[in-house]
A and B are shown apart, each in its own frame.
Chain A
């Protein structure tokens, strides 16, 4: 969808998958006055950084009563301080119902996300750093030496991902950098999930359900004509995913 659309003229819009680094507010309990006071305190440490940022409320560690959880008050307190609450993460069914009532987006909770989230909190608590994303030197490569089975998800949040075996149909591999699969790629592979357009995907046999680089994706149907079931590399050129045989690289 992403690349074929450029050929057609004048579409109203185009949907792309995006991965954005955001600040999460981990709520432990809710009291309106304490909440706003703590918020003001945090903001005063780095007023520029917090102006007009999107915020998600994480309920995974919420221990207070559901009845005390008032999303309208949370949203109000945040608005008064120029912060936009856009959604909630985690939480039980009742809490999520309350959130929906306040027109907030619902995001799933998860252990994997927790880790990302902790780093983003650390960053936002350090007012000296103006940008939330700080480039790391030599990001770590994750190496998986067994087949990635259907239903499994392997995530390399910082660097490249190397899989020494097949990535099966129904499996998903994601990396901030490039993805190398030394076996058939039958599942979904998403490289450059934080927007790195130089990321590439390499595989011994292209049989993928979906490949994506920096949010530009192609599904299996669009991959059949070029390099299907052969060793290829996939890269992004002028917003187009280009599949090229590996032996000609």
Chain B
């Protein structure tokens, strides 16, 4: 039985797709057969970050509508051979994702994959609800700012009430908090919420803290999941998060200002 994990946030631009790419790559690198599914119909980004945009022939919506088989649409990652990408359509609308269609695809993926990572669109409407509907677990991506925390809280409420597990009265979706764009300097100056603040407000277990870093932006632009930048703190932070997702105990890092590393990295330009 595959573990279905949705990466969601409510708010846009907090790092859902970056996180989906890195978590799926991290799981696959550990030998788990993993597929990452782009639910952001109409705003296709995942294929760019995974550097497979030139290999998209069929997409998620084609499979739902029966125009292509799943095997035709799945793209095998060139770097990690247990990783597959199911890209979405850029020309359709979110309503193309029907509950029955998504269920059919998820069920078929469950037969062959260990992990299904669902990259949710922003918002709380149909697309986001479809992405989280079949989830067993949720990685809630949050930036350390008030509006992002509020939106994460909203999406947690939707996970509690509108997911399949909630509707069927099964065990609730397991929630993980992933704090991204964390800048200890700015926390110290009172410009950002601290890890403790966000944990206190959202009251869900912390999966990891990803430091704000130029490396993340550079990696995205090059079509490289940042977890593969193994020397960078952001890459290592994602690696820790994946390990914790698999049940390993790892101490949280990058939560305080590391005076030595920070400025030298800034001046090297990542």
Whether a CB of chain B sits under 8 angstroms from the CB of A108 is no
Whether a CB of chain B sits under 8 angstroms from the CB of A127 is no
Residues 141-174 of A at the B interface (beta carbon under 8 Å)? 146-152, 165-166, 168-171
Cβ–Cβ contact B203 & A147, under 8 A: yes
Task: List chain A residues, Cβ under 8 A from B156.
Answer: 147, 149
Task: List chain B residues, Cβ under 8 A from A165.
Answer: 203
Q: Give the distance to chain A from B167, nearest Cβ to Cβ, in Å.
A: 15
> Main secondary structure on chain B at its contact with chain A?
helix
Q: Count A-B pairs with CB separation below 8 Å.
A: 33
Given contacts A169-B153, A170-B154, A149 and B160 within 8 Å (CB-CB):
yes
The docked-state distance in angstroms from the alpha carbon of A149 to that of B153 is 6
Given contacts A147-B203, A165-B203, A170 and B160 within 8 Å (CB-CB):
no
The docked-state distance in angstroms from the alpha carbon of A168 to that of B150 is 8
Give the contact-size bracket for chain B.
Answer: 10 to 19
Closest B residue to A186 by CB, please name it: B201
Cβ–Cβ contact A168 & B153, under 8 A: yes
The docked-state distance in angstroms from the alpha carbon of A150 to that of B11 is 13
Task: List chain B residues, Cβ under 8 A from A147.
Answer: 156, 203
The docked-state distance in angstroms from the alpha carbon of A149 to that of B173 is 15
Task: List chain A residues, Cβ under 8 A from B124.
Answer: 151
Whether a CB of chain A sits under 8 angstroms from the CB of B42 is no
Contact with A along B151-191 (1 / 0, CB 8 A): 10110111011000000000000000000000000000000
Given contacts A169-B150, A170-B150, A151 and B203 within 8 Å (CB-CB):
no
Task: List chain A residues, Cβ under 8 A from B150.
Answer: 150, 169-170
Task: List chain B residues, Cβ under 8 A from A150.
Answer: 150-151, 153-154, 157
The docked-state distance in angstroms from the alpha carbon of A146 to that of B172 is 11
Contact with B along A171-200 (1 / 0, CB 8 A): 100000000000000100000000000000
Cβ–Cβ contact B203 & A152, under 8 A: no
Q: Which of B151, B153, B160 contacts A146 (CB 8 A)?
A: B160
Q: Give the distance to chain B from A237, nearest Cβ to Cβ, in Å.
A: 32
Task: List chain A residues, Cβ under 8 A from B158.
Answer: 151
The docked-state distance in angstroms from the alpha carbon of A166 to that of B203 is 8
The docked-state distance in angstroms from the alpha carbon of A171 to that of B160 is 14
Closest A residue to B161 by CB, please name it: A152
Task: List chain B residues, Cβ under 8 A from A169.
Answer: 150, 153
Residues 113-128 of B at the A interface (beta carbon under 8 Å)? 124
The docked-state distance in angstroms from the alpha carbon of A168 to that of B160 is 14
A residues in contact (CB < 8 Å) with B: 146-152, 165-166, 168-171, 186
| Additional A-B contact list (16), CB under 8 Å, known A149-B153, A149-B160, A150-B154 | A147-B156, A147-B203, A148-B157, A150-B151, A150-B153, A150-B157, A151-B154, A151-B158, A152-B157, A152-B161, A165-B203, A166-B201, A168-B201, A169-B153, A170-B153, A186-B201
> 29 interchain pairs (CB within 8 A)?
A146-B160, A147-B156, A147-B203, A148-B157, A149-B153, A149-B154, A149-B156, A149-B157, A150-B150, A150-B153, A150-B154, A150-B157, A151-B154, A151-B157, A151-B158, A152-B157, A152-B161, A165-B203, A166-B201, A166-B203, A168-B153, A168-B201, A169-B150, A169-B153, A170-B150, A170-B153, A170-B154, A171-B157, A186-B201
B residues in contact (CB < 8 Å) with A: 124, 150-151, 153-154, 156-158, 160-161, 201, 203
